[in-house]
Amino acid sequence: MSHETLSTILFVVFVALTLGITFWASRNTKSAADFYAGGRSFSGLQNGLAIGGDYMSAASFLGIAGIIALSGYDGFLYSIGFLVAWLVALLLVAELMRNSGKYTMADVLAFRMSPRPVRTAAGVSTIVVSIFYLLAQMVGAGALVGLLLGITSQAGKIWTIIAVGLLMIIYVVFGGMKGTTWVQIVKAVMLMVGAALITLLVLGKFGFNLSGLLGDAATASGKGEAFLTPGLKYGTEAQGIWGKIDLISLGLALVLGTAGLPHVLIRFYTVPTARDARKSVLWGIGIIGVFYLLTLVLGFGAAALVHGKIDKSGNTAAPLLAQEIGAQVFGDVGGTVLLAVIAAVAFATILAVVAGLTLASSSSFAHDLYAHVFKRGDVTERQELVVARVAAFVIGAVAIALSIFAQSLNVAFLVSLAFAVAASGNLPAILYSLFWKRFNTAGAVSAIYGGLISAVVMVIFSPVVSGAKTAMFPDVDFHLIALSNPGIFSIPIGFLCGYLGTILSKEYNASKYAEIEVRSLTGIGAEQATGH
Amino acid sequence: MTVQHDPSVYERIQAGEQFQELRRRYRSWAFPMTIAFLVWYLLYVLLSGFARDFMGTKLFGNINVALVFGVLQFVSTFLIAWAYSRHAAAKLDPLADELRTAADSRDEVGEGAK
């Protein structure tokens, strides 16, 4: 049996299992709290696994292993930024949001301020961030399928994207947060087991001698010791000082972006109390941290064992490594099986992450824009949920259509844009509204739009879009900024706009701040679990 | 999401000594620690950009400073997360519970916030 057949069988098993879970969850998804927040009845460990499932996207699994395999140490920089970022979420955001919000990020902002302008801004930025992230995953799915399932025709790729899109729509529309969370949990366990197995085999092959593995990787890469130090990919000497500023900019966007990502923020609402939100982030940090340490071994292992075979993007490094190490340890059949397992895990990963993103954006559309902005709160829970499901369908369809036309877009560009926009547009507004007494409507609106617009505009005029061989439009050149990641400017701009907007407006509501401060720290009046 | 209760209840709790102590305990731990780990992380990013010879120094075998520094970022993240959970369980949760129980028993806020 070929690995393509076996991968397809494993993937079908995963899909069948998760669809079963989804239909089971749909029978228990009746209220808004069920659909948006899974009834707030997940345990800390369950939600911690789901946090890992949401966060360990195909970009971080295949992407980081691939960057390490091709450019050595620099891939590790990504992992570190992605992990440290969770401390911002743990110390400053998770518990306070759980205590003071309800379903979306905007709940926390709208609490203190004039709800309509603030919800509009937060809803727009949630949908923008989620769609960029969603596109990256869907485009990645199209690219991967050719490599993993042997589907190379254009039509085959399009059908794969459509299939991924339809599945995610089913997960979200029927299963809501409960179904989506279970999909994340199943996927997180599969991914951890798969990555741990291959890591053990690779380490075993090198007699558990990490130094030997690194030495072989450096030699095989042809770059020698430079392969083990930073600077082959990001902020290279050839790029000069702007290259190094770009590296810092990327580092900032990674570490500050996570706590502003909408699909991460809504995870905190799925547990009964703030204490469980804390526990879930602790579990999440443990799972994600261990996973990134595994990808370090996978990346260097791929460099040492299969260096010549990896494609230019690096995405095939982990699957090829699985095949090689399986074949070396268990013979050819073992290689086929391991490759099939990793391919199936990669698809499960994409499917789970796109479902999480679709849920975040459709929730924000229904709860923030439809219920509170268009209908001014004059809407029944039933109507709101119908809109949320329709929105999930529409957003899914839009994502399918866009990703078919966006096949040539650079995946890393879309992900870095999502992180930069989240760090510049969402994080300043969230932190100000939780901690700054004077913060007001004008401040929140200017923080979100200021950060969002400056990040997007800077990316449009960056070498990522034009003026470079690797750009989206390599044949034209309208780039004005040498930075490919806008974070180093757009994040301070977001904070500054929030500050200026606040002090230039006279609005100030001390009693509302008292309420959010007391509620966020004590949990008084927090939303209760609906329980099952 | 209309809020029906009198907001001055929260202002009274906020002004109370117990809440001020909770707020102080939370902020005096979380804020300096956030600055500390961000500085520690930025130091790592800056060294990766500007001090590559230092980062490439071999410590034992092929293990160099860059790798150890990177793994130390993981270790510090795990430690800070663990320390925060200890701090919160010992110093924050009991106070928050007391304040919440007191508010519930007075029935001033509890259900009103729903």
The pLDDT of residue A22: 87
The pLDDT value given to residue A521: 94
CB A130 within 8 A of CB A357: yes
Instruction: Name the H helices within A56-172.
Output: 58, 64-71, 74-88, 94-100, 105-112, 115-149, 154-170
Which positions in chain A touch B42 (Cβ < 8 Å)? 248, 251
Give me the residue from A255, A286, A522 closest to B99, CB to CB: A522
Nearest by CB to A102, which of B1, B7, B73? B1
- What long-range pairs does A14-19 form, CB within 8 A, spacing at least 24? A14/A186, A14/A187, A14/A190, A14/A344, A14/A347, A14/A348, A15/A167, A15/A351, A17/A186, A18/A171, A18/A179, A18/A182, A18/A183, A18/A186, A18/A348, A18/A351, A19/A167, A19/A170, A19/A171
Q: What is the pLDDT of residue A471?
A: 73
Q: Which of B4, B41, B50 to mutate to test the interface with A (most CBs of A within 10 A)?
A: B41
Q: What's the pLDDT score for residue A112?
A: 86
Q: What is the ipTM of this complex?
A: 0.92
Predicted local distance difference test score (pLDDT) of residue B112:
42
Chain B segment 13-42 residues within 8 A of A by beta carbon are: 13-14, 19, 22-23, 26, 30, 33-34, 37-38, 41-42
**Is B109's pLDDT higher than 80?**
no
pLDDT score for A479? 84
Average pLDDT of B63-90?
Answer: 96
Q: Residue A463: what pLDDT?
A: 82
> What are the residue boundaries of the structural domains of chain A, listed by start?
3-411
Residues in chain A with pLDDT values less than 70 = 1, 146-147, 407-413, 531-532
What would the mean pLDDT of B23-48 be, rounded to a whole number? 96
Tell me which chain B residues have a C-beta less than 8 angstroms from the C-beta of A107: 1
Nearest by Cα to A395 from A370, A376, A415: A370
Domain spans, chain B = 8-107
What is the predicted pLDDT for the residue at B113?
42
- The beta-carbon neighbor of A230 closest among B7, B42, B52 is B52
**pLDDT (tens digit, 9 = 90+) per residue, A433-463?**
999 999 999 999 999 999 999 999 998 898 8
Residues in CB range of A410: below 8 A, 6 or more apart: A464, A470, A472
Asked if B77 lies within 8 A of A281 by C-beta distance, the reply is no
* Domain A3-411: assigned CATH number: 1.20.1730.10
At B114, the pLDDT band (50, 70, 90 cuts) reads very low
Angle at CA of residue A307, ends A304 and A309, nearest 5°: 145
Q: What pLDDT score does A499 carry?
A: 97
